[in-house]
Chain A
């Protein structure tokens, strides 16, 4: 692969470029006040991902998963390898709902799960999060939503409005929410199917 760095000097041809002849497709575009005429290798996937390599990142996937990890390798499709990953679960419990109520809807399949819930029937909304270590991930690019560089100063702060919850509890709640969502999506898909006389195009490409 081409050996790119962001600090490379632009290729020998570009320094001679006239300052106002800035673009081949949009000629005559006035020079931006920002960095003058960035070298073309700035505008490649490789350059964009290169300065994220070996840094702690937040990866958000198309299915809504949030994964913190260190980016080790990638390619032009944004296929990624992350090591030392932790998956973050964030759950909101609306006011007036007990955690049992949420899991109760899903508990037909797993009644034993809700049995150990002895927590208060809270009336305040509660927001909980937890992290679960997941090891190494290789992610196919099409499933990537975004990659964020984690500000290490704020890394240890909990997300605003959220408190660290018990791993078991948060995981169980998330599972219950997922099941409920799946159930609703299924109903909706069936109704849409009836209306359209077939599955709606693009329904496989759902983003969370």
Chain B
């Protein structure tokens, strides 16, 4: 659930989502869910000529399973916090298992 929470903190940021079929779509992150399905607003397709079918589309829902990368604005990512949260979650998992 860590990355779900992490992405929730990034809503309203401009991100670029690269899909497994090589389309890159830039837009405002509106929402994310437990499967990391992503909703983007005001989208721009980076290689519009190659992928013309999204020209009349303004906001999209991307299924989490087809996402390869999400490019994030670096200044919005608190790496220390993320590392902490990761360790804490790992500890919690360990505590649960024991």
Contact = CB atoms under 8 A, between A and B. Distances in A.
Contacts of B35: 45
B11 A32 contact: yes
Nearest to B53: A66
Contact of B63 (A42, A141, A148, A208): A141
Nearest to B5: A25
Interface string B10-29: 01100000011100000000
B91 interface: no
Contacts of B63: 78, 141, 144-146
A146 B55 contact: no
A106 interface: no
B34 A58 contact: no
B81 interface: yes
Interface stretch (A13-21, A154-162, A176-184): A154-162
A172 interface: no
A19 to B, nearest CB: 14
Contacts of B52: 90, 127, 129, 159-162
B61 A147 contact: yes
A57 B81 CA distance: 38
A2 B61 CA distance: 21
Contacts of A159: 52-53, 55-56
B38 to A, nearest CB: 9
B29 to A, nearest CB: 10
A126 interface: no
Nearest to A74: B61
Contacts of B54: 58, 148
B54 to A, nearest CB: 6
Contact of B60 (A47, A90, A147, A155): A147
Interface string A23-64: 111101100111100100011110111001000001010101
Interface in A73-94: 78, 88, 90
B11 A44 contact: no
A25 B85 CA distance: 6
Nearest to B2: A25
A115 interface: no
A148 to B, nearest CB: 3
